[in-house]
Amino acid sequence: MALELTTQNFDEKVTNAEGVVVVDFWAPWCGPCKMMSPVVEELVEEMKNVTIAKVNVDENQELSMQFNVLSIPTFIIFKGGQAVDQFAGAMGKDALKARVAKHV
């Protein structure tokens, strides 16, 4: 299961992480986010060398503003605590996996 992030644990789990972390910014009312949820959970199982986490934008608006998340779902890939890629919108598992794999 994807790790749930909040403003309280973001630095510990993402900014201070040494490896690759994919953060999915989502909301429970967002149709495309609901479509992506099973895809994200499949990646959790398939990409064990990557931390995959989620931020509920309704509950963590400060993080959304900090990373300029204007639409959801938005995915931000962090490597060594730094954002290295950001993209928005629903996509298939293979496309998402390929995008993440470029940074592993």
Check residue 79 and give its pLDDT: 97
Query: Residue 91: which pLDDT band, with cuts at 50, 70 and 90?
Result: very high
Q: Let me know if 33 is a catalytic residue.
A: yes
> 22-70, pLDDT tens digit by residue?
999 999 999 999 999 999 999 999 999 999 999 999 999 999 999 999 9
Q: Let me know if 31 is a catalytic residue.
A: no
65: burial class by Cβ within 10 Å (0-12, 13-18, 19+)? exposed
Check residue 83 and give its pLDDT: 97
Residues 6+ apart with CB under 8 A from 31: none
State the catalytic residue, choosing from 14, 20, 22, 33. 33
The reported pTM is 0.96
Domains of the chain: 3-99 (3.40.30.10)
Task: Give CA 102 to chain center in angstroms.
Answer: 15
